Structure 1
Amino acid sequence: MKQILLMFLPLLLSATPLEVIIDNALAFHPSLEAIQARLYAEDYQISSTRNFANPEIAFAINDIQFEDITDRSLEPMQTTSVILKQKFPSFGKRDAATARSRARKQVTALSLEESKVKLVERIKMTSYGIWEVDEELKVIGEYIEVTRQNIELNTAYSATRTSSHMGIMSAELTLSQLKIKKSRYESMRKMLYAKLSYLAAQEILSVEVDLQVQAPKELELYTQKLANNRGYGAKSAEVQLAQSDIKVQDLSGNVDPFVQVGYFHRQSYNDYVNVGFGMALPIYGTESDNTEAARKMALSKASESQDYLQRLRGELGGLYAQLEDAYAIYRIIHDESMPQIEHMFELTSASVKSGQDLFVYIDLLKQKLALDEQLIKATVRFNMTEASLDAMTGETR
């Protein structure tokens, strides 16, 4: 048993790939299952639109004589009856109701797809945030170690050199600030993993993310796929639902006839059957008012859909500008600033080891730490913006 546990221990401790987390969340997240349950309910609603209205049945005893309420043979009008009434929908009403229910189901289905896209985006954002924290902790850990080494290296010179002593004090203050920052990031890391575990619908202890920065795709590629936006699809489906409701309300002005059949039993006389026919009289204009209200609602939904698309186009342009900005900053830091600061470290390395210029070295260390943090943030910002653009174009991977 111990050997089996040891064999599977590396798998239990290994990081979970981001793709696996996304697949699990899409399959098992409770928020998506709730919408899926509503979809199943819509199927029953569609089925019910094919049914007639429930028939009505009534039992009646009329002409009860107070002289003897148990005697049902006193005169011909004393009857015991059973009456059955059935309404029949006028032509096209059931088809219109079915079309409306199907349109409503389409709205629900597209809202499910929109929720999936948003869930994937949140998982990516949280995972990228964890990557950022881990990279920051890695950099801070390296600088803490370097700072400690240089403090120890220059402690021997502090007794005779005031400048070296001042440099050590400055380095110790820097070390304290690094420790504070490390503690803050460790706390943030715990919160991010708690959030990711909820989004993934399972406990996540470690996530495998590899963030790269490459030249952005052309804006035109995102613009062409903007029609795949799930939110816009849901808005368009709401327009179709409103259009189908117009048809239902328009047909509501057509009267639904009903047939009524009654069987009447008489104690001392012949039984008889009564057949009736009737309909509602739509004389108050309620149906026409409802139809006009449905038309106005359809116009409103159409305007909302167009406004949503225009807003998406504006947001797309803004996000793409952020993507280009993050890429430009990354290239400046990676290609220009980092090589320069590395060269400056090489120039001061020898003097620091000989007990000189520790203060200058610490200042360079702060500058490099700032550049490393900017490089990490530029990388995360680029990938988060790219994730938002993917979500805007309906991507779930």
Structure 2
Amino acid sequence: MKLYILLLLPMWLFSESLDVLIENAKNSHNSLKTIEQRVSAIDDEYQVSRNFADPSISLSMSDIQFDDPTKRDLEPMQFTSINFKQKIPYFGKRDAVSKKIDAKKQKISLTLDETKVKLVKAIKISAYSIWQIEQELKIINEYINLTKQNIELYSAYGSNDTSSHMSIMSAEMTLSELRIKESRLKSSLVGLYERLSYLSAMEVKSVELDMDVNTPKDVSFYTSTKGANLTYKIKETTLSEANEDIKVKELDSYIDPVVQVGYYHRDAFKDYANIGIAFSLPIYGTQDSKAEISRKLALAFKSEVVDADNSIKAQIIQTHAKLLSAYKIYDIIQNQSMPQIEHMFELSSSSIKNGDELFLYINLLEKKLTLDEKSIGIVAVYYKTEATLDALIGEMK
């Protein structure tokens, strides 16, 4: 046990708190930077929406004579012109498009927050899994040492009959199983630290956690704040974007005038200018059809918002029930089962020191190990479930 503590001491000295890992991930993780660039792109899209469409300029030369193309003073119809054309959007169209882009930006910003929530949840669950395995390794290492010591004691004090030999063999098999389990846990621990390092965007060697089990918050705390759920808020923003799209499509039915100004130069006659206005004619109902499509999509999104609200409430109640169950199981193990098995273990351990009842001791050792693992496991389940509840209400800490 002392050797195990000495090996872990360097890790404890350089352990990171969960808060540090979470903050570093929120500031540095590449998946977040990708979405941040998309949000920045929306700002540029907004600026574009405030502009008019690009004007067009055309140059032309009329009435070119094949006999002498350079002769430009034969008749009044011979001119060289430059024309400027600009589409003028109907008042309100640009504002409608800008509001739609604002809603789109809000949705992508919420997607960024949702990714942060998922990242925080994944970091917590990985950290709690690491804690679980490290605690199990401590116990297994302790039991390995206890089993080895008692095999040595029993070999020294015990007789050489068949029963004694079978007891020692049974203890040695238990020792082998403990070593196999230890090897598997160490292998899993390496993978979990790699995953935690990726999630937190920094190299992690050890994690500092406070894993005291406290009375869970009432379910009403979570149901009253379910509106902060990022999936729900994204659905709401998607509906807002759809409503803004309806306004854009409805305004498309209004005619956008196209103003054209031209200057005409003639070599032998006076120059002159032309001014013209053109209109598109929405006579085929295309704009109305597009607006109707947008209305139907908005109704679908509205139904999704209602469904998301009901679904999140159900998830919260179900997850909270799991949290309460974990708390009750932990209480039973710590306050009922554990005191009994420890008392039996102490009595059996005292008997082994006198060379008696090794088989019973090993049986109790296995039961105590199982109970210790259940205690550690249920604490991990408690905190993982709490992390899931926090994610359901949009918690990013």
TM-score greater than 0.5 by the shorter chain: yes
Q: Which residue of 1 aligns with 2:359?
A: 359
Cα deviation, residue 74, structure 1? 2.5
Question: CA deviation digits over 1:364-396, x for unaligned, max 9?
Answer: 000000000100110000110001001111111
Q: Which residue of 1 aligns with 2:177?
A: 177
Which structure 2 residues correspond to residues 318-397 of structure 1 after superposition, within 5 A?
Answer: 318-397=318-397
- Matched AA of 1:180: I
Cα deviation, residue 12, structure 1? 9.9
Matched, 1:119 2:133: no
Aligned-partner SS, 2:225: helix
Aligned-partner SS, 2:316: helix
Cα deviation, residue 66, structure 1? 1.1
Contact 2:11 2:206 in 1 (8 A): no
Cα deviation, residue 266, structure 1? 1.3
Quote the Cα distance in structure 1 between the aligned partners of 2:317 and 2:11. 43
- Matched AA of 1:277: I
Contact 1:164 1:355 in 2 (8 A): no
Question: 1:188 and 1:10, CA in 2 relative to 1: closer, same or farther beyond 3 A?
Answer: closer
Contact 2:11 2:205 in 1 (8 A): no
Quote the Cα distance in structure 1 between the aligned partners of 2:10 and 2:141. 25
Contact 2:110 2:233 in 1 (8 A): yes
Cα deviation, residue 161, structure 1? 3.1
- Matched AA of 2:390: D
Aligned-partner SS, 1:335: helix
Cα deviation, residue 157, structure 1? 4.4
Q: Which residue of 2 aligns with 1:230?
A: 230
Greater Cα shift, 162-171 or 235-244: 162-171
Q: Which residue of 2 aligns with 1:5?
A: none
Matched, 1:25 2:29: no
Cα deviation, residue 135, structure 1? 0.5
Q: Which residue of 2 aligns with 1:154?
A: 154
Quote the Cα distance in structure 1 between the aligned partners of 2:100 and 2:54. 21
Greater Cα shift, 245-254 or 51-60: 51-60
Question: 1:22 and 1:193, CA in 2 relative to 1: closer, same or farther beyond 3 A?
Answer: same
Computed over aligned residues only, the root mean square deviation of the Cα atoms, in angstroms, reads 1.4
Contact 2:73 2:268 in 1 (8 A): yes
Question: CA deviation digits over 1:36-87, x for unaligned, max 9?
Answer: 1111111111122111111111111122211112222232212111000111
Greater Cα shift, 149-158 or 387-396: 149-158
Aligned-partner SS, 2:293: helix
Quote the Cα distance in structure 2 between the aligned partners of 1:47 and 1:135. 56
Contact 1:164 1:356 in 2 (8 A): no
Quote the Cα distance in structure 1 between the aligned partners of 2:27 and 2:178. 41
Poorly superposed stretches of 4+, deviation over 3 Å: 9-13
Greater Cα shift, 113-122 or 149-158: 149-158
- Can you give the 5+ residue segments of structure 1 that lack an aligned partner in the other structure? 1-8
Which structure 2 residues correspond to residues 36-55 of structure 1 after superposition, within 5 A?
Answer: 36-55=36-55
Matched, 1:35 2:57: no
Figure out how many residues of one structure are paired with residues of the other and give that number.
Answer: 389
Question: CA deviation digits over 1:193-245, x for unaligned, max 9?
Answer: 11011101111111111212111111111111111111111110001000000
Quote the Cα distance in structure 1 between the aligned partners of 2:177 and 2:392. 40
Cα deviation, residue 10, structure 1? 7.1
Quote the Cα distance in structure 2 between the aligned partners of 1:136 and 1:69. 97
Quote the Cα distance in structure 2 between the aligned partners of 1:130 and 1:72. 89
- Matched AA of 1:211: M
Cα deviation, residue 345, structure 1? 1.2
Aligned-partner SS, 1:156: helix
Q: Identity of counterpart residues, as a percentage?
A: 49
Quote the Cα distance in structure 2 between the aligned partners of 1:10 and 1:189. 17
Which structure 2 residues correspond to residues 1-397 of structure 1 after superposition, within 5 A?
Answer: 13-157=13-157, 160-397=160-397
TM-score normalized by the length of structure 2: 0.96
Quote the Cα distance in structure 1 between the aligned partners of 2:162 and 2:386. 52
Quote the Cα distance in structure 2 between the aligned partners of 1:249 and 1:181. 65
